[in-house]
């Protein structure tokens, strides 16, 4: 499974940086150690970045960011007036990437919800809902999603 994938694939050869987001404290210690090793080993790779969400939820992400900010305020590292969108974004799990905001989210399985995934980060993301289950999602469905995305006018919250 996941541990086999991250321990036996030569990520460095492909220039791929691995980042894992989520509550790793809920994972077995051996898997936590393996994740830390892979992240450390690949941290300087810059060709591609693979972000793996394990034991992740959007609510968890926002709560852990708030806790981190509260700790910093309690310790006097920041003031109340320092708390803004930018500071919150710095504390989110996706601070591991230069591009934390997806342009397009493809939701498979016919579900019409984001299912507690990247709640903060999806604020201006275009959504595409596909009926197919993930294992059945093929090139044609992917092209349909991209075509739909291409035809949209992105307004980032504005009306015009």
DSSP per position, 5-72: HHHHS-TTTTTEEEEEES-GGGS-HHHHHHHHHHHHHHTT--SEEEEEESS--HHHHHHHHHHHHHHH
Does residue 52 share a domain with residue 2? yes
How many structural domains is the chain composed of?
3
Domain that holds residue 124: 104-150
Based on the fold, state whether residues 4 and 45 are members of the same structural domain. yes
Res. 3: pLDDT tops 80: no
Residue 160 pLDDT exceeds 60: no
Mean pLDDT of the region 30-59 = 90
User: Quick one: pLDDT band at residue 1, thresholds 50, 70, 90?
Assistant: low
Q: On the CB side of 33, how many CA atoms lie within 13 Å of its CA?
A: 3
- Structure confidence at residue 66 as a pLDDT band (50, 70, 90): very high
Q: What is the mean pLDDT of residues 40-45?
A: 90
For residue 14, what pLDDT is reported? Answer: 76
Residue-level pLDDT at 105: 93
Give the model's pLDDT for residue 5. 64
Segment 142-156 mean pLDDT: 92
- 13 and 29 inside one domain: yes
Vertex 159, ends 154 and 102: CA angle to 5°?
A: 30
| 65 has pLDDT over 80 | yes
Within this chain, do residues 16 and 41 fall inside the same structural domain, yes or no? yes
pLDDT at 90 over 70: yes
How far, in Å, CA of 108 to CA of 138, rounded? 11
In the predicted structure, residue 9 carries a pLDDT above the cut 70: no
């Amino acid at each position: 499974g996941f541990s086999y994938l991250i321990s036996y694939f030569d990520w460095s050869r492909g220039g791929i940086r691995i980042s894992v987001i989520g509550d790793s404290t809920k994972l077995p210690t051996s898997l936590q150690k393996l994740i830390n090793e892979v992240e450390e080993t690949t941290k300087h790779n810059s060709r591609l970045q693979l972000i793996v969400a394990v034991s992740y939820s959007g609510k968890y992400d926002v709560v852990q960011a708030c806790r981190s900010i509260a700790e910093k305020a309690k310790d006097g590292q920041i003031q109340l007036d320092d708390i803004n969108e930018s500071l919150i974004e710095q504390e989110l799990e996706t601070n591991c990437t230069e591009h934390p905001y997806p342009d397009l989210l493809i939701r498979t399985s016919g579900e019409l919800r984001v299912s507690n995934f990247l709640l903060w980060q999806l604020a201006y993301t275009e959504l595409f809902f596909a009926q197919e289950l993930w294992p059945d999602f093929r090139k044609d469905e992917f092209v349909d999603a991209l075509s739909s995305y291409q035809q949209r006018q992105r307004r980032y919250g504005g009306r015009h």
